[in-house]
Amino acid sequence: MKFRSLFLIILLLLLFCCKDQKKIAPDNRILIITTLFPLYDFCKHIGKDKVRVELLLPPGVDAHNFEPKPEDIVKISRADIFVYTGKEMERWAEKIIRSTDNKKLLVIDTSRGVLKRRIAKKEDTFSHNGHFHNHEIDPHIWLDFENAKVMIDNILEGVIAKDVLNREFYIENANSYKKALDIIDEKYKQGLKNCKNKYFYHAGHFAFGYLTERYGLKYISAYQGLSPDEEPTPKRIAEMIDSIKKHNIKYVFYEELMSPRIANVLSMEAGVSLLKINPAHNVSKDDLDRGISFLEIMENNLKQFRMGLECQ
């Protein structure tokens, strides 16, 4: 009896020790810190179980106004790979990169090789159909699926540099994702080909320039700058209301993670319904926890676009 009790005690001690060792055992996966949600999703699909991907941007937070906290800078300095969109989107990133003492940190600027659009810095009018002629770079490059493929290739190159032994694994995963992007690109081309109107009225900041240009839509945004903090002028809102009525528009789009205040004004004054879309900078905590993907967001957006533009 005593022997059995002693045996049980030893067994429990061994189980406890093993459990504790497992808890403190180092994670040998490649640690990747990403800034925005599309990058997070791309990295997860390329690396799968061989990488650990963390999203720096807290769920539900607007990407344009995000400034990293000291603990975020520590995360970056301890990572194997840091992935960002480019200096136009994360204007704070290059300063942090220069200041880190992690000589082994691999930095991936996913905008490398992307053909970038330019948008206006100042107020324009509808005389140019919502198109702008100034020189501010539009950083929302992931909303053109050809750009997204370039971004994936940039990430792939970096991950292989850190883990060349699993090169074929990463290439296969990246190619699979790029094929999925080709499929959804074709869905957009076909889905937006026969629409009653081509006017895309957006009560949010100027995020969908790449997408609307790719599919031949006329993009009219309330916020002509990149930041949601740049409030639209009363003149701009009045112009939008007049234009909505002129073109007999039934729907105006607004952003999921942005205040619907301007959208509600347009809805009330122009008599239109509102449709929610997501430019995919970031997602809510619930969506992140359930594992939403960039492709799923784009599928959901297409349904809203087809409804709002009255497509057949």
User: For 186-244, what is each residue's pLDDT tens digit?
Assistant: 999 999 999 999 999 999 888 999 999 999 999 999 986 665 567 788 999 999 999 99
Helix or strand (DSSP H, E) at 55: strand 51-55
Q: Which band of pLDDT confidence, cut at 50, 70 and 90, is reported for residue 120?
A: low
Looking up tokens 């002509």 gives: 224
Averaged over 237-252, what is the pLDDT?
A: 96
How many angstroms separate the CA atoms of 129 and 275, rounded? Answer: 22
- The pLDDT, as a whole number, for residue 256 is 86
Yes or no: say if 208 and 140 are a contact pair by the CB < 8 Å rule: yes
Going along the chain from its start, the domains and CATH numbers come out as: 30-126+140-184 (3.40.50.1980), 188-308 (3.40.50.1980)
- The pLDDT, as a whole number, for residue 158 is 98
Averaged over 136-143, what is the pLDDT?
A: 93
- Sheet with 106-109, side-by-side order of all strands: 51-55, 30-34, 81-84, 106-109
How many angstroms separate the CA atoms of 281 and 299, rounded? Answer: 15
Predicted TM-score (pTM) of the model is 0.85
Q: Are strands 81-84 and 30-34 parallel, antiparallel or unpaired?
A: parallel
Q: What would the 3-class secondary structure string for 256-294 be?
A: CCCCCHHHHHHHHHHCCEEEEECCCCCCCHHHHHHCCCH
DSSP 309: T
DSSP β-bridge partners for residue 81: 32, 106
- The pLDDT, as a whole number, for residue 65 is 75
Distance of CA 28 to the CA centre of its chain: 27
Looking at the predicted structure, is the pLDDT value of residue 12 above 90? Answer: no
